[in-house]
Amino acid sequence: MTKDKTIQKALQIFEDHHGILRTQHALRLGISPRTFYALRDEGYIIRLSRGLYQLSDRPVSEHHDLIIATQRVRRGIVCLISALAYRHLTTQIPHQVYLALPKDAEKPRLEYPPLRLFWFSRDAYQAGFEEHTLDGTVVRIYCAEKSVADCFKFRNKIGLDVTLEALKLYRESENFDLEKLMIFARIDRMENVLRPYLEALV
């Protein structure tokens, strides 16, 4: 097989995986190390972060940081302000990716994107996440109700103003579900904290 055909085959493997691959995954799929580094050196792929590469002709996704963070931090779940921004429940623009991790997880080392990490108890970590496919990559993100409840739990870290704005925007949304919201408030042990603020919005 000529070099050109080898490159073409490798590029097709990237295409088949939505243009983004981790180095080890690419090698498992049959791209040889020599071909992989040729793709990089000849500009066919670009490095997004350590061990993660994307086809160079692909536009940068609006979800670029979420994809990279959750690809690199396998147990991470998008939470708090990043989850609110994804669900249009905040006017804040997160400059870090907010990730939830279980309490037994080690602190990840990541050059990019910048992370803000929160360690959750087992029940709080496992409850309320959804899987969304962003540009072909599955990303776990907490649902709206869990995200609002989490804001109350971490209100001293993210700000009460951000927390109350999220509650107000969720209360005004067509998907407002009081019962579901209170389920997650109970899981977070925030039911008594959240309820007076919610009643004030009625």
> How many domains is the chain built from?
2
How confident is residue 157, by pLDDT bands cut at 50, 70 and 90?
Answer: very high
Note the pLDDT of residue 1. Answer: 43
**103-145: pLDDT as tens digits:** 999 888 877 788 999 999 999 999 999 999 887 788 999 999 9
> Where is the domain boundary, 37, 55, 73?
55
Residues 96 and 187 in one domain: yes
Q: How far apart are CA 52 and CA 150, in angstroms?
A: 30
Q: Which residue has the tokens 């160079």?
A: 56
pTM of structure = 0.74
Note the pLDDT of residue 55. Answer: 86
DSSP 105: P
Minimal CA–CA distance to 56: which of 6, 14, 5, 112? 14
Radius of gyration of the chain (CA): 20
Give the residue numbers spanning the domain of 193.
Answer: 64-201
Residues 30 and 72 in one domain: no
Note the pLDDT of residue 136. Answer: 77
Strand bridging mode 77-78 / 52-55: unpaired
Question: For the chain, how are helix, strand and coil distributed in percent, rounded to 5?
Answer: 50, 20, 35
Minimal CA–CA distance to 101: which of 142, 68, 63? 142
How confident is residue 197, by pLDDT bands cut at 50, 70 and 90?
Answer: very high
Residues 80 and 160 in one domain: yes
Residues 127 and 177 in one domain: yes
Note the pLDDT of residue 149. Answer: 97
**76-113: pLDDT as tens digits:** 999 999 999 999 999 998 889 999 999 999 888 877 78
Give CA 181 to chain center in angstroms. 21
Residues 82 and 165 in one domain: yes
